[in-house]
């Protein structure tokens, strides 16, 4: 059976060597990269099944690489950083990371998270990247899936993060239904709900604020006590 290839992007030589050795001993094929440029060269040469990205890197940092990878594909990503602050974790998840692990970490936890990500993402169909040229309309708004763009009723474009766009896409595909956090996470990033409830709440709060820029937009996503969230607008697919 072909082993999963994991790229470890870490500028600290000792940590990089330890993680690569650990993953190889667990049956994976791990390759170390000191910079994002080395990672790009590796990715051009062969298939990668998972990227373990350190946030603090020389030159382009891990968050920037994560954003770039998510904009062009669906490679599973585990962010690793010395920063344990919730804001850093949420930013990483918002721009498309599948999981987030602060340093110092237990080696067994790293392996468990790697295996969990690979299980969740193997053969899984996500909303991003989008398929086809689907377009949806609701209350004067337009969501263009192919272009990953959102237009307000006045014709102006609305800038959404990857996480916000995926949430809105999920809502317009399931209007008038009460969606709980587990469903939102499964249909957007494929992550289990428990560790990331706050990230979903932050994304929803920001999405609501952007929709509220248009009259009535603040009422489009309704909170259902004890149940989750409901997209109340009537949706038409173009």
User: Which of 158, 55, 130 has the alpha carbon at shortest distance from 97?
Assistant: 55
Helix (H) or strand (E) holding 172: helix 162-173
Give residue 163's pLDDT.
77
Query: Which residue from 222, 131, 210, 124 is spatially nearest to 175, judged by alpha carbons?
Result: 222
Decide the pairing of beta strands 135-138 and 99-102.
unpaired
> What per-residue confidence (pLDDT) applies to 142?
93
**What is the CATH code of the structural domain delimited by 5-121?**
3.40.50.2300
pLDDT > 70 in the chain, percent: 83
pLDDT digit string, tens, across residues 73-119: 778 999 888 765 666 666 666 777 888 888 888 999 999 999 988 88
Residues 30-49 pLDDT 10s: 999 999 999 999 998 888 99
Structure-model confidence comparison of residues 228 and 124, the more confident one: 228
20-32: pLDDT as tens digits: 999 999 999 999 9
What is the architecture of the domain spanning 135-237? Orthogonal Bundle (1.10)
For residue 166, pLDDT over 90 is answered with no
Structure token digits, residue 56: 């603090």
Of the two residues 70 and 198, the one the predictor is more confident about is: 70
Q: For the chain, which residues make up each domain, given as ranges? A: 5-121, 135-237
Dist CA 182 CA 228 (whole Å): 9
Residue 72 has pLDDT above 90, yes or no: no
Query: pLDDT tens-digit profile of 169-179?
Result: 989 988 998 88
pTM: 0.55
Is the pLDDT reported for residue 5 higher than 50? yes
């Amino acid at each position: 059976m072909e082993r999963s290839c994991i790229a470890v992007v870490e500028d600290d030589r000792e940590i990089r060597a330890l993680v690569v050795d650990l993953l190889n001993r667990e049956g994976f094929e791990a390759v170390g990269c000191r910079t994002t440029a080395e990672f790009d060269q590796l990715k051009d040469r062969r298939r990668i099944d998972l990227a373990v990205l350190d946030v603090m890197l020389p030159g382009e940092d891990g968050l920037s690489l994560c954003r770039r990878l998510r904009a062009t594909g669906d490679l599973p990503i585990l962010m690793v950083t010395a920063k344990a602050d919730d804001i850093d974790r949420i930013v990483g998840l918002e721009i498309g990371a599948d999981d987030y692990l602060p340093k110092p970490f237990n080696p067994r936890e790293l392996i468990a998270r790697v295996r969990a990500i690979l299980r969740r993402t193997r053969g899984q169909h996500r909303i991003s990247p989008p398929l086809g040229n689907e377009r949806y309309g609701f209350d004067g708004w337009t969501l263009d899936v192919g272009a990953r763009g959102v237009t307000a009723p006045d014709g102006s474009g609305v800038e959404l993060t990857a996480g916000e766009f995926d949430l809105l896409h999920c809502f317009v595909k399931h209007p008038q239904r009460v969606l709980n956090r587990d469903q939102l996470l499964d249909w957007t990033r494929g992550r289990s709900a428990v560790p990331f409830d706050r990230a979903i709440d932050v994304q929803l709060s920001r999405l609501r604020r952007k929709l509220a820029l248009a009259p009535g937009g603040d009422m489009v996503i309704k909170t259902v006590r004890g149940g989750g969230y409901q997209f109340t607008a009537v949706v038409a697919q173009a």
